[in-house]
Amino acid sequence: MALIEELLDTPDGHEVVAAAIGNLLTVEIANQQVLAVDAGLNPEAFKADVYLSRMKPFDTRLEDNDLTPIINVWFESANYEKHGSTVRANRADGTFNIDIYGFGQSKRNASSGGQTVGDKQAKQEVDRWLGLTRRIIMSAQYTYLGSQRANSGNDPNISNQFCYGRWVESITTFQPELETRAAITCVGARLALGVHYLIDSPQLVGDVFEIFSSSVFREEDGRLLIAVDTDVSGSP
């Protein structure tokens, strides 16, 4: 039985893509704040918190009155190509969700004597940030999500291309529940981004053990365990 001889400690393809999306959004949002200052506008209007792979990124909003929009990037699914010259050079089409949360707070308007409606404010914020996010992701600079495109000679020394294309698959809106903060309204929007990206697997051939046996079994809590018997008496 041949074993893999390299430590599999590098991120898989979907992890690389998700991190790239989160990183470029973080950098570009910070850049938008700088551009806002240069234009004489309030940079706070272009501030958003970016998260990677959170299930409830808005939980901190239950503890304070911070209405800063939230953007959360996470991998949903992928279909793998069933062809290719080698396993290592295979590719996949994946869906990466970019969830945007806008917040609003209902309060009395001191100047007019009326009421500022929180749900309207939240909807306006999520719509605005949905547009900003889409334009950033679909800009020409990020056709390959920041990865360097391979040249015509396919020189591996100058290419780190992991993305081969991206497109918006769909946009939907939803309303998360903030049960403990009735005064704060949250409206969400999901931009589903399709990405054609690289996946790889180790192709190194390991040494063959003369005696090697193993068995995998499941604990009561579902954890998988492995028992291994090997004869290493002939090893140096």
According to the model, what pLDDT value does residue 123 have? 93
pLDDT of 218: 62
State residue 159's pLDDT score: 61
Rounded mean pLDDT of the chain?
81
pLDDT at 152: 46
- Per residue in 57-100, pLDDT (tens digit) is 887 666 667 889 999 999 999 998 876 555 556 889 999 999 99
- Arithmetic mean of pLDDT, 216-229: 61
Task: Let me know: does 193 contact 167? Beta carbons within 8 Å.
Answer: yes
Task: Categorize the per-residue pLDDT at 4 as very low, low, confident or very high, splitting at 50, 70 and 90.
Answer: confident
pLDDT at 129 exceeding the cut of 60: yes
Mean pLDDT, rounded, for 130-152: 89
Whole-prediction pTM: 0.79
- At residue 163, the pLDDT reads 93
Give the pLDDT confidence score for residue 45 in this predicted structure.
Answer: 94
Question: What residue ranges define each of the domains in the chain, with the CATH number in brackets?
Answer: 13-207 (3.30.2000.30)
| Comparison of pLDDT for 117 and 18, the residue scoring more | 18
> Residue 168: is its pLDDT beyond 60?
yes
pLDDT above 50 (res 143): yes
The residue with greater pLDDT, 177 or 19, is 19
Please give, one letter per residue, the 3-state secondary structure of the chain: CECCCCCCCCCCHHHHHHHHHHHHHHHHHHHHHHHHHHCCCCHHHHCCEEEECCCCHHHHHHCCCCCCCEEEEEEEEEEECCCCCCCCCCEEEEEEEEEEEEEEECEECCCCCCEECHHHHHHHHHHHHHHHHHHHHCCHHHCCCCCCCCCCCCCCCCCCCCEEEEEEEEEEEECCCCCCCCCEEEEEEEEEEEEEEECCCCCCCCCECCCEEEEEEECCCCCEEEEEEECCCCCC
Q: State residue 116's pLDDT score.
A: 64
The confidence band for 156, taking pLDDT boundaries of 50, 70 and 90, is low
* Rounded average pLDDT over 192-221: 68
